């Protein structure tokens, strides 16, 4: 592992960023192997139920962004 790290240190920042992106993509493709704890599943279920109960419509990203930029 030390040799690999030493080789990575020789790369430019853009090359390192590309490797990180490629590594992250690889992890994302195998996300089925990453176990999700029960508390996290429970929290997602709770948030989904909460969202279904809301009578107010959600704000779109475009509207939220516009409001944020107006408040500056």
Domain extent, residue 22, equals 2-70
Residues 27-61 pLDDT 10s: 888 877 788 899 999 999 999 998 888 777 788 99
- Residues of the chain with pLDDT > 90, as a percent, come to 62
SS3 (DSSP) at 55? coil
Residue 44 pLDDT: 95
Contact 8, 16 (CB under 8 A): yes
Number of domains into which the chain is organized? 1
């Amino acid at each position: 592992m030390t040799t690999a790290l030493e080789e990575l240190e020789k790369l430019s920042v853009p090359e390192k960023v590309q490797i990180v992106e490629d590594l992250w993509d690889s992890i994302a493709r195998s996300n089925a192997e990453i176990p999700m704890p029960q508390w996290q599943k429970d929290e997602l279920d709770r948030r989904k139920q909460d969202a279904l109960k809301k009578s107010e419509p959600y704000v779109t990203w475009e509207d939220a962004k516009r409001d944020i930029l107006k408040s500056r």
